[in-house]
């Protein structure tokens, strides 16, 4: 039986990626859109706290409320740059809206090297995602991380958000990320997420990993 997942998000890029991931597994993903003022993004310290607060708010808005057979999902992500002690992290949306991808590149302008491995190390960063799923009265959490580095300049038309400035680390034969600058079985060959397809991004992405972590916890998975 196909179950419906109401995904509370205003971000069409996230919706597209989650649908791409979950539809083939038999989940119908529908966007839950709340009007401005109906949802508050709390300024808290962790992605998990943001996700938990949004689930509680979303529950007030789905058909049949707490009795629903449907599931509710939220997913919060952020870009954590090592040289900036994890900034912008939970402030990623605000930073994208204010200084944007070019602002991030400018912040790291002083961190460069002719040596590509050293350059990737100096500019290392990771996307982190927490996906939270409400089903049958309980909340499950899934975590995903994607390590990589911030490119020297913005590139690519695909993807969304910080995709044009983020290059993922290579993956080993088991699909696990390797340290920056290490060659692996799978490589984006220095391309940013903005320059690769949604299918290719899926192999590396924090979102895919967080969703897989969630699905592993579902009784039917």
Query: What residue ranges bind ligand ITT (CB under 6 A)?
Result: 9-11, 14, 76-79, 92-93, 96, 127, 159-163, 193, 205, 207
Q: How far apart are CA 183 and CA 167, in angstroms?
A: 14
61 near 54, Cβ under 8 Å? no
Cβ–Cβ under 8 Å, residues 105 and 79? no
**Least distance from ligand ITT to the Cβ atom of residue 50, Å:** 7
Nearer to ligand ITT, 76 or 170 (CB): 76
**Nearest residue to ligand ITT on Cβ basis:** 161
Given the complex with ligand ITT, which of 17 and 170 has the nearer CB atom?
A: 17
- Closest approach, Cβ 20 to ligand ITT, in A, equals 12
State the greatest distance between any 2 C-alpha atoms of the chain, in Å, as a whole number: 59
Measure the CA dihedral 146/152/157/158, to 10°: -10
Least Cβ distance, residue 89 to ligand ITT (angstroms): 9
Residues annotated as catalytic are 76
CB of 60 or CB of 117, closer to ligand ITT: 60
Contact 126, 148 (CB under 8 A): yes
**Which region, left, alpha or beta, applies to residue 26 given φ > 0 means left and ψ of -120 to 50 means alpha?**
left
Query: Could you tell me the strand order of the sheet in which 166-168 lies?
Result: 27-32, 3-8, 71-81, 124-135, 138-150, 166-168
Q: In this structure, what DSSP letter does residue 164 have? A: G
Residue placing its CB nearer to ligand ITT in the complex, 11 or 118: 11
Quote the least distance from Cβ 220 to ligand ITT, whole Å: 25
């Amino acid at each position: 039986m196909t179950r419906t997942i109401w995904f509370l998000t205003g971000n069409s890029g996230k919706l597209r990626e989650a649908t791409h991931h979950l539809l083939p597994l038999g989940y119908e993903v529908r966007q839950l859109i709340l009007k401005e003022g109906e949802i508050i993004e709390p300024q808290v310290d962790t992605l998990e706290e943001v996700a938990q607060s949004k689930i509680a708010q979303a529950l007030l808005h789905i058909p049949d409320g707490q009795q629903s057979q449907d599931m509710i999902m939220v997913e919060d992500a952020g870009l954590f740059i090592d040289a900036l002690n994890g900034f912008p992290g939970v402030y990623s949306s605000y930073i994208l809206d204010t200084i944007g991808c070019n602002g991030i590149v400018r912040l790291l302008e002083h961190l460069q090297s002719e040596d590509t491995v050293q350059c990737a190390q100096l500019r290392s960063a990771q996307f982190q995602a927490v996906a939270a799923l409400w089903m049958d009265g309980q909340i499950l959490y899934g975590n995903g991380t994607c390590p990589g580095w911030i490119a020297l300049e913005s590139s690519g038309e695909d993807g969304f958000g910080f995709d044009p400035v983020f290059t993922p680390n290579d993956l080993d034969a088991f699909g696990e990320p390797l340290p920056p600058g290490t060659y692996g079985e799978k490589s984006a060959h220095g391309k940013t997420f903005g320059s690769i397809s949604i299918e290719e991004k899926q192999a590396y992405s924090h979102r895919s990993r967080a969703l897989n972590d969630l699905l592993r916890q579902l009784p039917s998975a």
